[in-house]
Amino acid sequence: MGYKFLFKNHRIKFHVKKKIKIITDILNFIYPNPISSLYYTNEFTLLIAIILTSRSQEKKVNQITKLLFKKIQKPQDVIQLSVNDIQNYIKYIGLYNRKSKNIYDLSIILIKKYNGIIPKNIFELESLPGVGHKTASVFMSHVSEVPVFPIDTHIHRMMFRWKLSNGKNIKQTEKDAKHFFSKKNWKKLHLQIISYGKEYSPSRGWNPKKDIIYQKLVNNNLI
pLDDT digit of tens for each residue in the chain (223 aa)? 454 443 345 456 778 999 999 999 999 999 999 999 999 999 999 999 999 998 898 999 999 999 999 999 999 999 999 999 999 999 999 999 999 999 999 999 999 999 999 999 999 999 999 999 999 999 999 999 889 999 999 999 999 999 999 988 999 999 999 999 999 999 999 999 999 999 999 999 999 999 999 999 999 999 8
Q: 43-143 has which CATH code? A: 1.10.340.30
Question: 17-35+148-219: what fold?
Answer: Endonuclease Iii, domain 2 (1.10.1670)
Helix (H) or strand (E) holding 107: helix 96-114
Chain centroid offset of residue 178 CA? 13
Task: Locate the domains of the chain by residue range.
Answer: 17-35+148-219, 43-143
d(CA 116, CA 127): 15
Which residues neighbour 96 within 8 Å (Cβ) at sequence distance 6 or greater? 87, 90
d(CA 158, CA 20): 12
Segment 107-114 long-range contacts (CB within 8 Å, at least 24 positions apart) = 107/75, 107/76, 107/78, 107/79, 108/75, 108/79, 110/44, 110/75, 111/75, 111/76, 111/79
Q: DSSP string spanning 46-81?
A: HHHHHHHTTTS-HHHHHHHHHHHTTT-SSHHHHTTS
pTM to 2 decimal places: 0.88
